[in-house]
Amino acid sequence: MRKIIVLEHITLDGVIQAPGGPDEDTSGGFTHGGWISQYSDAILGTALRKQMNMPFDLLLGRKTYDIWAPYWPQNPEIWPGVNAATKYIASNTLTSGTWQPSIFLNEDIAEKVAAIKQQPGPDLHVWGSAHLLQTLIKHDLVDVFWLMIYPLTLGTGKRLFASGTIPATFNVTESIVSPNGVIIVNYERQAAS
């Protein structure tokens, strides 16, 4: 069975919105985009490259797909595997796109993702995709949270754990603190008892 691995940059107060740049996601009037830039260091970079170089397919929300689709095909040297990975896109508005291979999912997203998990193939990595994450969490489809927890609070923005979060327990299987204070931690879901 394939695992769903959520990989997120997250603040101490749970914000995951627009870590990469000021124009990445300004929805809801968010003005703090680019909040990870001052925390870059070699330890964090090495951990990110390790995750990016594992075998994976992508499970993305439409907004993340819209941000990534024009960027990654033009910058394959940064993340060699991203363009070859199958991209499963949860969207009620898109049915096709130019960034291939892509499969668009609409209606009954949780049911469709549960079925994809049963298929052979690499694990499914979820980056960003705040709205999709709420569906995955609500339906207990996330197997692993690989988080980069930054030492700051923003007060506003889309959060990793919003309404609909179910009770769950996790084991820490790996953790490290970067020199700039980013906690990199891997939480694996405990089997329900």
Domains contained in the chain, number? 1
Instruction: Spell out the per-residue pLDDT of the chain, length 193, in tens.
Output: 999 999 999 999 999 999 999 999 999 999 999 999 999 999 999 999 999 999 999 999 999 999 999 999 999 999 989 999 999 999 999 999 999 999 999 999 999 999 999 999 999 999 999 999 999 999 999 999 999 999 999 999 999 998 788 899 999 999 999 999 999 999 999 976 5
| The pLDDT value given to residue 192 | 66
**Sheet containing 87-90: order of strands:** 102-105, 87-90, 57-61, 124-127, 4-11, 144-150, 183-189, 170-177
Cα–Cα distance between 119 and 75 in angstroms, integer? 30
Q: Name the residue type at position 66.
A: D
**Domain range for residue 182?**
4-189
Contacts (Cβ under 8 Å, ≥6 apart) of 105:
88, 89, 90, 91, 112, 113
149, β-bridge pairs: 10, 183
Q: Which CATH number covers residue 38?
A: 3.40.430.10
